[in-house]
Structure 1
Amino acid sequence: MIRNLLFNLIIAHILGDFYLQWSSSCKNKILHSVKGKDLWLHSLAIGILSWIANCIVIRYINSKIVIS
């Protein structure tokens, strides 16, 4: 269970960092830090992906409980 959650969270973070982030947003995060919108948008994207990953694991666990 913990392995599934950890795996899904790592995949969500990799997707958010490498596929859902453009070079311009990386530069803006460095330039503007906390004051820029790009850091907050990136944090929101990672949060949403992590929530989805958590829902997938919970659905998987619930399906195992019902079958057992």
Structure 2
Amino acid sequence: MKATEKKTAKLCYEHIGGKLGNLLLEKFVEKGWLAKENLRDKNFYITEKGTKEFSKLGIDLSLIHS
């Protein structure tokens, strides 16, 4: 891949931000891995399906602190 073809993935504190972070969020919601209790809520929660699917990817959800 040429340097001009590289896409950025912003790291903001301890999370992925920018366009990549937004695209990931949209896809996880679309797949039913993340959801909100109420559309007005600021935060999402990891669904039961999300817990299973993130685990399949090797993501240790026990590292997330509330």
Which has the larger Rg? Answer: 1
Tell me whether the two structures share a fold, i.e. TM-score over 0.5: no
Instruction: Choose between structure 1 and 2: higher helix proportion.
Output: 1
For CA contacts below 8 A with separation 6 or more, give which structure has more relative contact order.
1
Instruction: Choose between structure 1 and 2: higher strand proportion.
Output: 2
